[in-house]
Structure 1
Amino acid sequence: MQKQGLALKWLLLGALITNTGISAIWPLTTIYMHEYLHKSLTAAGIVLFINSIVMVGGNYLGGYLFDRWQPYRTLLTGITINVFATLILIFFHGWPSYAIFLVILSFGNGIVGTSITAFATMVKNQQSSYVFNVLYFMNNIGIVFGTLIVGFVLPFGIQYIFMLSMLLFILFWIVAALKFNVLPERKRKKYDKGPAQLPKQNKHQIIGLMLVFIVAWIIYAQWQSTISAFMVSHGMTVKDYSFVWTFNAIVVVTFQPVLTHFDAFLYRHIKARLNVGFLLFATGFVVLIFAKEYWHFLLSMGILTLGEISAFPSVSTYVDSLVYESQRGRFQGIVNAAASFGRAVGPLVGAQVIALSSYHSLFVGCVVALVVFLLNFDIILRRSRTQKL
């Protein structure tokens, strides 16, 4: 029997469980393939790229099924794929089975990720902007827990990582089966009814924002790929690089609740929040242009993380405010697919720019690209206001 609206606590619990399970697996890919399966770093990079592209497909399919089939069954299907993939990986984690089932897991995770984001629009008695803020916070907590688990469990064997992740996915399946069979709570009036086609100005705003979002994720991916080598070239260690991500988590955990506390004010000024967030993102890379000492990298990550927690949750909120009730899943799928695509091509773009020029050219290019696309988005916003008058 379907209930009216979803309780926020179940959405957050589901996000925490699934992100912990996934985050215990992804950090191992490069290390496991290179050190245990004796494959080249290029091969590991190709597998990660394929995973990200397949996740784009999972994101989009998840959104399509969420709207056209049934949200509840769509989520359960994605979790079932995750359970199946991790079950096989417990017993078959050699080559090429590891890569094959990692790709299948990525596809399932794409469906689950979009479903969770789309379910955020169905939480009862809460403004969607507030839900997206606390959901983003919980996703990051899951990532912290997942990466911490790796260090404790991996020494016993990688099969125990997959076993733990599978148990977490089974737990989420049970929670979803019991608590996620809900009907949407129709809170909005403006876009609840109407033609299937969105107004042109809404489409243009979404396209402009997605281009900014893709560029931001391409830039963010440099921290997960090229910047580690840049730091080592400046005499820093892998441990130093690892702590930068610990610092990232500290900033998220400290400041995300502050933004959530002022959610009502920030929602009224969501366009300004997007602009400030993405400009902070660009400023983080301005610092990298001049970075030589370790504290420069910490400062860069701190500024970028403030931009991340300001802009990224707002993207989902802003897109949701522009679409009809019947299209929420599809467009949240597009948001997740844009992030996955940026993560996929980011390391390739960074490596090519460095090969043809230098790290500094890459950092300058990141700043210029993000500012240009953000200006384009602002021009679209001004034109949309003019068309409404």
Structure 2
Amino acid sequence: MERQSISLKWLFLGSLITNTGISFIWPLTTIYMHEYLHESLTIAGIVLFINSLFMVIGNYAGGFLFDRWRPYPTILLGITLNSLATGGLIFWHGWPAYPLFLVVSGFGNGIVMTSINSYATLVKSRKSSYVFNVLYFMSNLGLVIGTMIVGFVLPLGITYIFMLAFALFVLFLIVAIFFFNVKVPKRTADPTSKAVQAKNPYWPQILLLLLTLFITWITYEQWQSNISTYMIHLGMTVKDYTWLWTINAVLIVVLQPVLTLFDDWLLAHLNLRLNLGFILFASSFLVLIWAHAYWSFILAMAILTFGEVLALPAVSTYVDLYSPDDQKGRYQGFVQVFASAGRAVGPLIGALIIEATSYKTVFVGSTLAIILSVAIFATWNRRKRA
């Protein structure tokens, strides 16, 4: 039965379920392939890169199908692919079945994540900034819940992890079947035509913002890959490193609901929110340049998290505000594509720079790259508004 509009509670629940299910699988990839399947770290890195590449393709496909086909079958397609891939992993998780199912799951995840953000643009009962803030909160809450559960379930066997992920994706599929079939306003034009693209005068600043997002995710990935080895090089432990992500998760869970209380003010000052958030991102790497003691890494992570909760949800809000009504899915697809692309190449770029120079070069480069990109975006944005 077709509904008049998407209910926020089901949209938020879908984001929570999806991100919890994803977090059962992606953190284990390198460890599982290296320790259980006895493949090299290089092979594990290549598999992760291919998985990210297919997620990028899924992001674009999700936005394209959302606009050109229909939202309802698009998100069902993505969830079905996720369900089939994780269901297959329950029975076949050796080599090469594991990486093949992982790639299918990455493609499905790409479609689902773009579809959820695109569905958010259809919500009329609340401002888009509020919706994207809560979606970001739910996605991080899902990651926290998922990684916590993995710690308890993994000792029982990897099969149980895949069973849990499969059960969650099937649950989301059931929710989507009953509650995501909503009425969508008719498009007035072909969203891929050059004439329609030319009608959006905000495309240059949207592109500059997306490039800033891409660079930001490249730098963010240093935290999830190369900074762990840097901390161990300084004499710290893996436990010290994992505690940083606990701090990150707790701060996000605490800060994001607080931001929603000031949603009207933040929406009215959206450009300030974006610029400040990205500058805080850059500042966290500035701290790392002189970081040697553990407290300095905690400080850098806290600054990074403040920047994250300010900037990342605001990107989707900005793109939604300045994208044509008949291309909402396509533009949200762009947001996911640029973010996924940054995540895909970030670890490799960082590793190459570290091997050629040093960790501090990465930290200095990350600081300068973000500041330069956000300065170009802010300058262009100010000019166009004037």
Q: Aligning the two structures, in what range does the TM-score lie when normalised by the shorter sequence? A: over 0.9
In structure 2, the CA distance between the partners of 1:332 and 1:104, relative to structure 1 (3 Å rule), is: same
- Matching residue of 2:102: 102
- Matching residue of 1:312: 312
Deviations 1:248-270 (A, max 9, x none): 00110111111111000000000
- Equivalent position amino acid for 1:110 in 2: G
The answer to whether the aligner puts 1:223 opposite 2:223 as a matched pair is yes
Measured in 2, the distance between the counterparts of 1:66 and 1:132 equals 18
- Equivalent position amino acid for 1:323 in 2: S
User: Which secondary structure does the structure 2 equivalent of 1:10 belong to?
Assistant: helix
Alpha-carbon offset, residue 42 of structure 1: 0.9
Measured in 2, the distance between the counterparts of 1:199 and 1:79 equals 33
User: Which secondary structure does the structure 2 equivalent of 1:95 belong to?
Assistant: coil
- Matching residue of 1:192: none
What pairs with 1:1-389 in structure 2 (closer than 5 Å)?
1-184=1-184, 196-199=196-199, 201-386=201-386
Alpha-carbon offset, residue 379 of structure 1: 2.0
User: Which secondary structure does the structure 1 equivalent of 2:26 belong to?
Assistant: coil
Measured in 1, the distance between the counterparts of 2:31 and 2:37 equals 9
Q: Is the 8 A contact 1:2 1:181 kept in 2?
A: yes
Q: Is the 8 A contact 1:251 1:302 kept in 2?
A: yes
Q: Is the 8 A contact 1:130 1:263 kept in 2?
A: yes
- Equivalent position amino acid for 1:146 in 2: G
Deviations 1:8-35 (A, max 9, x none): 1000101111110110111100000000
Gaps of 5+ in 2: 187-194
Alpha-carbon offset, residue 152 of structure 1: 1.2
Q: Is the 8 A contact 1:124 1:185 kept in 2?
A: no
Measured in 2, the distance between the counterparts of 1:22 and 1:153 equals 15
Deviations 1:174-198 (A, max 9, x none): 1001001112479xxxxxxxx6225
Q: Is the 8 A contact 2:200 2:324 kept in 1?
A: no
Q: Is the 8 A contact 1:11 1:116 kept in 2?
A: yes
Q: Is the 8 A contact 2:144 2:249 kept in 1?
A: yes
Alpha-carbon offset, residue 199 of structure 1: 3.9
Measured in 1, the distance between the counterparts of 2:157 and 2:77 equals 29
Measured in 2, the distance between the counterparts of 1:198 and 1:261 equals 37
Measured in 2, the distance between the counterparts of 1:162 and 1:176 equals 21
Measured in 2, the distance between the counterparts of 1:227 and 1:185 equals 46
Measured in 2, the distance between the counterparts of 1:266 and 1:95 equals 49
Q: Is the 8 A contact 1:62 1:112 kept in 2?
A: yes
In structure 2, the CA distance between the partners of 1:184 and 1:128, relative to structure 1 (3 Å rule), is: farther
Alpha-carbon offset, residue 156 of structure 1: 1.4
- Equivalent position amino acid for 1:220 in 2: Y
| Percent of matched pairs sharing the same residue | 59
- What is the aligned-residue RMSD (CA, Å)? 1.1
- Matching residue of 2:192: none
Alpha-carbon offset, residue 200 of structure 1: 5.5
Measured in 2, the distance between the counterparts of 1:198 and 1:163 equals 47
Structure 1 runs (4+) deviating above 6 angstroms are none
Q: Is the 8 A contact 1:62 1:115 kept in 2?
A: yes
Measured in 1, the distance between the counterparts of 2:201 and 2:376 equals 14
Measured in 2, the distance between the counterparts of 1:200 and 1:104 equals 34
Measured in 2, the distance between the counterparts of 1:27 and 1:148 equals 11
User: Which secondary structure does the structure 1 equivalent of 2:326 belong to?
Assistant: helix
Alpha-carbon offset, residue 122 of structure 1: 1.5
Measured in 2, the distance between the counterparts of 1:320 and 1:347 equals 29
Measured in 2, the distance between the counterparts of 1:323 and 1:205 equals 11
Q: Is the 8 A contact 1:281 1:307 kept in 2?
A: yes
Q: Is the 8 A contact 1:7 1:124 kept in 2?
A: no
In structure 2, the CA distance between the partners of 1:290 and 1:42, relative to structure 1 (3 Å rule), is: same
In structure 2, the CA distance between the partners of 1:379 and 1:307, relative to structure 1 (3 Å rule), is: same
- Equivalent position amino acid for 1:64 in 2: F
- Equivalent position amino acid for 2:57 in 1: G
Q: Is the 8 A contact 1:198 1:323 kept in 2?
A: no
Alpha-carbon offset, residue 326 of structure 1: 1.1
Deviations 1:291-322 (A, max 9, x none): 00001001100000100000000000000111
- In the alignment of these two chains, the number of paired residues is 378
Measured in 2, the distance between the counterparts of 1:335 and 1:116 equals 12
Alpha-carbon offset, residue 385 of structure 1: 2.2
- Matching residue of 1:191: none
